[in-house]
Amino acid sequence: MTTSIVDRPTAGRVRPPYSLATEVRRQASRPRTRIALGFMVVLPLIILLAFEFGGDSEETPTGGGAFTSLVDLATTGGVNFAMFTLLVSSSFLVVVVTALFFGDAVASEASWGTLRYLLAIPVPRARLLGVKFVVALLSLVLALVLLVGTALLAGTLRYGWEPLRSTVADELDPWAGLVRIAAATGYIAVTLLVVATLAFLLSVSTDAPLGAVGGAVLLHILSSILDQIDALGVVRDFLPTHFNDAWVGLLSTPIQWDAMIRGTISALAYATIFGTLAFWRFLRKDVVS
């Protein structure tokens, strides 16, 4: 009786509970996390250098829509530069980073042979998966904040704290423009939940992290390609990437909310389906690695 009372706290110290802080420390110590977050800081600086040393173009590009507008106005102020950086990185770079954080979350543990150890601590499967998802989500939010924050700081230091300008909207005070950037970043984060949960689903379904990351990115690219085919008609509205660029409506006057609302509903619906399947799959999976 006495022995069992003494042994309980001892056992607890030997096998501490798996917590959010534990997973944050584990992920923060990994090279891929540091490299991905570091690149979010470096990219705006690369773009800034490209504008500085790229020279002036003799011809003004045409037919580029909102993209051309932001290219022309990117160097007119820090807010404009941040908006341009967000545009050029949201179509592919942040997609890859998102797939990396979520696709690597569980598959890497399986590939290293540590997944069974974590479950043997013991940690309930739902808790393990939930903690990993939250930490991956926090990593994504941090990546977006670093990207936009660095672009805003570097752009402001170089081009000044100027109003947000657009060819389809009234000139906005820099602080009002900052609110638009925050809203655009938030919307992009919501649309990225589709890639995140898909990569997470693939991560619990395979022991190969590269397969989970690459699979999510490839399916995103496939959806983007199909979205360019006009012959698909209304079918395109149901593609997960169809409303990804709807945040550009924030640059118009008045703001175009309709596409953003539809995009938010679409993204949350896909994310719910993929996320539910990920938990359903993992809770019933035979973990052998």
Q: What is the pLDDT of residue 126?
A: 85
Q: What is the pLDDT of residue 122?
A: 72
pTM: 0.87
* Contacts for 180 with CB less than 8 Å, ≥ 6 apart: 83, 164, 172, 250, 251
Q: Identify the band that residue 261 occupies on the pLDDT scale cut at 50, 70 and 90.
A: very high
Q: Which of 89-93, 135-139, 182-186, 265-269 has the lowest mean pLDDT?
A: 89-93
